[in-house]
Chains A and B, each alone.
Chain A
Amino acid sequence: MSGYRLDKGGYIDRNTPLTFSFEGKQYSGFDGDTLASALIANGVSVIGRSFKYHRPRGILGAGLDEPNAIMQIESGPHTIPNLKATGIELYDGLQANPVNAWPSLAFDALSINSLLSRFIPAAFYYKTFMWPHWHVFEPTIRKAAGLGVSPNFPDPDRYEKRFVHCDVLVIGGGPAGLLAAQAASRSGARVIIVEYDPEWGGSLLNDPKEMDGTTSDTWIQKIVDELQEAPQTTVLNRTMAFGVYDHGLIGLVERVTDHLPVSSRSGVRQRIWKVRAAHTIIASGAMERPFVFPNNDRPGIMLASAGETYARRYAAAPGKRVVVVTNNDYGHYCAQSLQKMGVEIVAIADARLQKNTLLPGQIDLNNYPVFFGMTVTDTSGRHRVRSAQLHAIDDSGKAISGRSHNIDCDTILMSGGWSPVVHLFSQAGGKLVFDAKAQAFIPTSCEQNIVCVGAATGEYSLAKNLIDAAKAGSNAASKSGFKCGSMAVPSVEGSEASTVRAMWQVDVSAIGGSEQKAWVDFQNDVTASDVKLAIRENFQSVEHVKRYTTLGMASDQGKTSNVNGIGVMESVLKKPMAQVGTTKFRPPYDPTTIGAFAGRRVGENFAPLRALAAEQGHKEAGAKFDDYGGWKRPVCYLQGAETEAEAVQREAKAIRHGVGIFEASPLGKIEVFGPDAAKFLNRMYVNIMSTLKAGQCRYGIMLDENGVVFDDGVLGCLKENHFLVGTTSGKAAAIAEQFEEWLQCEWTDLDVVTDNVTSAWSIINVNGPNARDLLQKFDCTVDLSPDVFKHMQMREGRLAGVSCRIQRVSFSGELSYEVAIPWAYGASFWQALISEGAAFGVCPFGIEALMILRIEKGYLHVGSDTDGMTVPQDIGFGRILAKKKSDFVGRRSIMRPDAVRKNRRQFIGLENISDESPFRVGAHILPPGKVAPPAHTQGWVTSSVYSPNTGKPIALALVERGTERYGEEVQIWDLGESRRAKIVRPGVFDPEGRRLHV
């Protein structure tokens, strides 16, 4: 218990106390706290256990770089695993729990791993657990892995997305970002500025300055007010840029309600913004690096900047006796700042020699001892650091034996230098170089219109950064065509860039220290010795080290560890940092909610169903609906207590004895016009279509260029040079698109226009022996009498005063009219058919009954009775092919050896000679006899039903050499069970087709 609340200061609202719980215990904090600051203010030191060794861990950082403070927030439907306490705004009633400790943080059973650590170094699992078998060990390993717990309930929240365009996007609301946004915004450009934090100001919140004679707080407020008032500018706090994608697309995620108490949340929880930005300015600042020394992971050891942030922003002192360890000037500033706030500084260890510092004279060396040329080489303490051991270090960074101090403390603040936040820049394809002065990877050029400003460039002089930021803002706006006036840049008290001594790892070899406890990656428990082990085993590429040790692969994605890891590699490989290089930066910058990516595409919206024209009528008739290719269509119409199967049988029987109606609106309808229309259709169909006369219809099939049967349907000729292409329901859009592709890209000489009118016309199919009688009840200008309107003909006219197109075509084998009328009239036409049809006992029927009727007739259903291997010869189109001389899509492909081989699977019928129940579609066909896998399959059942009109099960199939084998017995094999069948011609009902012509 060492952190505490300072009496004054901070951006917290002391008038609004909040209560929250951590590990079941109640605490209080203030509005404006983060969970992390509130825990520190309450003196909580141990907030988690490490991933592998279950070492007690405290808070290390104050931002998204935090590796240790991983929380399970809330419970039940609102729970979220793995949130970083440093990014959670405190709200009243918040419940937080640690993620990797059992039974409790104070006593964690798996902390035994810590004692075994020498036997389980990085990648140890590749070397063991092979005998007797991995499966023996895996469950235990899995249980030990993972951090939080997945939610167990559907997400109660909503998410949404926005797609916006802007001229300038500024990422980061610190001083550089704000000024860049202001410069761009004043030109009138469309500007968006985003900041992860709820507060604007970035580094100025930790380190207030006098700016233009006023406080930085006032300066920030003025700019934010101005930006908010600018009509073309969008100001988004609590918003993180998570990814930079191609062509200036940046993904943002806005946290809309996460900071509110669960009970007062409403509306959208998070919103993803897809921003297409002409120019992007990244002002994402820099992150401090920890030191890699033995036992650098004890609770109470924290980044120096985090210590300052907690004290300054949240009035939460990180500890009572603070040692600062640094290799740059910031450690000193931080110590001064803390001391001013009343925090006791016990000592500073600065790895540099005093003469190498640019340290300002204002450092009063009498305030606290400053040990130049020394650094921390070990620590003690169990649940909180209790002391720091300091050693002098030589020029190579090696601790010198004998010259040491032990200092009692409860807090060690580390300032190991700064790494610009280059993640987004690098995602955008920007190049990084290693800068010796900054001792960091800094951004250089990028092919996309993206620049970095502020500390993200590796430059830490605020005065200079402000000038550059204003310039960047103006540049971006003027490149987008806006006029920029000159920008006044505020004057700030200057601070010279500090020198940094590279200290990737404290070399403790001379003093008998152990690298096995010098952590590089805190969350994944990767130590300096792990990195060195990887290199010894020749995992020398930075990507190999990452993958072998898991360095940088935790939920912080290595924000505090990657550069130190590269530094450790440098020292072993004797290769400069630049050559070691970084691993790839991948989106998202910080983990991003899956539900937010899904947005509103959930539930029914995942794949919206299209409704039929007469949907209401179907409902009233008792329809049971299902999804057929994205259309919500009646399976059947249930009467009384009927099952689906019973209804389907009843309907299929009724059609053959009376009249039925079926809505066929999804059938594709593509009009093809123009002088070359017939020529074009000849090239699209396997059949000859140019001979079709006005008023005639023809059944045809289309292939893809690879020769595979792609679709079938009825082509109608409305008049010369004007055709109506009928497609199957699922293929309408695809075929319309293909027509255009051929016309626009290949046959540009053809004078043809196509128009997909599928959704302009609804179709009701009137089907059955009494179909004509029923239709004749309507006031229709089309003469339906059988001698003038024959099978496979079409007519245009008016029905009840509305234009109609009637095709006398049949998929049932009965007298059948497909009546198309404008979509808006489909519902009333259906109703009229129901009422007029009452006298005929009209039977509304669904898709499954239609399938029975067509299977009884042996009519092919493309996609069921054909697959991606079927060529026209397989389905009885050999004769038609022989007649056609000209080229068509796919023709050359069906001349290839595989298309003309003798043992192709052909479309045939099957008669069940075993029993009375239908075969299962998907059953395979083999010769009679014992089946001993691996066995050659001869084909499969493609359609199968019980036929109510012949009183037996019937099936269609694709079988090798099928048409040569009529009468032959085969075996139907389904999931290990066998039945017998005879190969027959497809079509068992009215094989002569008499009923079509009545």
Chain B
Amino acid sequence: MLQINCPYCGPRSEVEFRCGGESHIKRPGPPEDVSDAEWSEYLFFRKNPKGIHFERWLHRFGCGRWFNIARDTVSHEVLHEYAIDMPAPTIIEKTK
């Protein structure tokens, strides 16, 4: 069970949160200028990396705020937490 450090409340267990998936995805628009392919990329296509993933989480049963984390999808280690409107930090992957 993950322990996630909510930037607003401190470390809490996985069950208090909801993972919102990959972060930093730009919503294309206006609709009439977006092709089906672009829209499909936005809706469905994901990096899904085996390694560092930048993703957004909601502290659902806590402060109710969204924030970003950088998490390793293999070890599940959380390397960084940052505000929802911050750009993804540069993280050098540990050599395994």
In the bound complex, do residue B36 and residue A706 qualify as a contact, i.e. CB atoms below 8 Å apart? no
Q: Which of A86-94, A494-502, A740-748 lies on the face that meets chain B?
A: A740-748
What are the residues of chain A within 8 A of B2 when measuring CB–CB? 246-247
Partner of A893, one of B39, B77, B84: B39
In the bound complex, do residue B43 and residue A705 qualify as a contact, i.e. CB atoms below 8 Å apart? yes
In the bound complex, do residue B66 and residue A737 qualify as a contact, i.e. CB atoms below 8 Å apart? no
**Chain B residue with the shortest CB-CB distance to A892:** B31
Bound Cα distance from A636 to B71, whole angstroms? 51
Q: Given A246-B76, A745-B84, are A897 and B36 neighbors across the interface (CB < 8 Å)?
A: yes
In the bound complex, do residue B77 and residue A274 qualify as a contact, i.e. CB atoms below 8 Å apart? no
Partner of B43, one of A247, A740, A748, A893: A893
In the bound complex, do residue A447 and residue B20 qualify as a contact, i.e. CB atoms below 8 Å apart? no
Bound Cα distance from A163 to B77, whole angstroms? 21
CB within 8 Å of A: which B1-24 residues: 1-3, 13, 18, 20
Bound Cα distance from A232 to B79, whole angstroms? 30
> Does A808 sit within 8 A of B, measured CB to CB?
no
In the bound complex, do residue B27 and residue A746 qualify as a contact, i.e. CB atoms below 8 Å apart? yes
In the bound complex, do residue A447 and residue B77 qualify as a contact, i.e. CB atoms below 8 Å apart? yes
> Does B56 sit within 8 A of A, measured CB to CB?
yes
What are the residues of chain B within 8 A of A247 when measuring CB–CB? 1-3, 76
Nearest Cβ on chain B to A729's Cβ, whole angstroms = 20
CB within 8 Å of B: which A227-259 residues: 245-249
Bound Cα distance from A400 to B2, whole angstroms? 57
Bound Cα distance from A748 to B68, whole angstroms? 15
Bound Cα distance from A588 to B76, whole angstroms? 20
> Does B88 sit within 8 A of A, measured CB to CB?
no
Bound Cα distance from A277 to B83, whole angstroms? 27
What are the residues of chain A within 8 A of B43 when measuring CB–CB? 705-706, 893
**Chain B residue with the shortest CB-CB distance to A888:** B31
In the bound complex, do residue A744 and residue B65 qualify as a contact, i.e. CB atoms below 8 Å apart? yes
What are the residues of chain A within 8 A of B20 when measuring CB–CB? 741, 745
Partner of A447, one of B13, B64, B75: B75
In the bound complex, do residue B29 and residue A892 qualify as a contact, i.e. CB atoms below 8 Å apart? yes
Bound Cα distance from A163 to B32, whole angstroms? 52
Partner of B1, one of A274, A737, A745, A887: A274
What are the residues of chain A within 8 A of B32 when measuring CB–CB? 895
Partner of B36, one of A163, A741, A896: A896
In the bound complex, do residue A246 and residue B1 qualify as a contact, i.e. CB atoms below 8 Å apart? yes
Q: How many residues of B contact A (CB 8 A)?
A: 27
In the bound complex, do residue B76 and residue A891 qualify as a contact, i.e. CB atoms below 8 Å apart? no
In the bound complex, do residue B77 and residue A245 qualify as a contact, i.e. CB atoms below 8 Å apart? no
CB within 8 Å of A: which B28-55 residues: 28-32, 34, 36, 39, 43
> Does A57 sit within 8 A of B, measured CB to CB?
no
> Does A429 sit within 8 A of B, measured CB to CB?
yes
In the bound complex, do residue B29 and residue A744 qualify as a contact, i.e. CB atoms below 8 Å apart? no
Bound Cα distance from A745 to B13, whole angstroms? 22
Q: How many residues of A contact B (CB 8 A)?
A: 26
- Identify whether the interface residues of B are mostly helix, strand, loop, or mixed: loop
> Does A276 sit within 8 A of B, measured CB to CB?
yes
Bound Cα distance from A779 to B43, whole angstroms? 53
CB within 8 Å of B: which A156-176 residues: 163
Bound Cα distance from A245 to B2, whole angstroms? 8
In the bound complex, do residue A429 and residue B64 qualify as a contact, i.e. CB atoms below 8 Å apart? no
In the bound complex, do residue B3 and residue A276 qualify as a contact, i.e. CB atoms below 8 Å apart? yes
Bound Cα distance from A892 to B1, whole angstroms? 37
Contact with B along A894-935 (1 / 0, CB 8 A): 011100000000000000000000000000000000000000
What are the residues of chain A within 8 A of B65 when measuring CB–CB? 744
> Does B60 sit within 8 A of A, measured CB to CB?
yes
What are the residues of chain A within 8 A of B84 when measuring CB–CB? 744-745, 748
Nearest Cβ on chain A to B22's Cβ, whole angstroms = 12
**Chain B residue with the shortest CB-CB distance to A742:** B27
What are the residues of chain B within 8 A of A897 when measuring CB–CB? 36
**Chain A residue with the shortest CB-CB distance to B77:** A447
Nearest Cβ on chain A to B19's Cβ, whole angstroms = 12
CB within 8 Å of B: which A61-109 residues: none
Bound Cα distance from A741 to B18, whole angstroms? 11
What are the residues of chain A within 8 A of B30 when measuring CB–CB? 887
Nearest Cβ on chain A to B73's Cβ, whole angstroms = 12
Nearest Cβ on chain A to B37's Cβ, whole angstroms = 11
**Chain B residue with the shortest CB-CB distance to A898:** B36
Contact with B along A730-768 (1 / 0, CB 8 A): 000000010011001110100000000000000000000
**Chain B residue with the shortest CB-CB distance to A748:** B85
Bound Cα distance from A248 to B2, whole angstroms? 9
CB within 8 Å of B: which A428-461 residues: 429, 447
What are the residues of chain B within 8 A of A744 when measuring CB–CB? 65-66, 84
What are the residues of chain B within 8 A of A746 when measuring CB–CB? 27
What are the residues of chain B within 8 A of A887 when measuring CB–CB? 29-31
CB within 8 Å of A: which B56-96 residues: 56, 58, 60, 64-66, 75-77, 84-85
Q: Would you list 24 pairs from A and B whose C-beta atoms are within 8 A, ordered by A residue?
A: A163-B13, A245-B1, A246-B3, A247-B3, A247-B76, A248-B3, A249-B1, A274-B1, A447-B77, A737-B58, A740-B66, A741-B66, A744-B66, A744-B84, A745-B20, A745-B56, A748-B85, A887-B29, A891-B31, A892-B28, A893-B39, A895-B32, A896-B36, A897-B36
| Additional A-B contact list (11), CB under 8 Å, known A249-B3, A276-B3, A745-B84 | A246-B76, A247-B1, A247-B2, A706-B43, A737-B58, A740-B64, A741-B66, A746-B27, A891-B31, A892-B34, A893-B39
A-B complex: 8 closest residue pairs judged by Cβ atoms: A247-B3, A892-B31, A744-B66, A249-B1, A246-B76, A891-B31, A892-B39, A745-B66
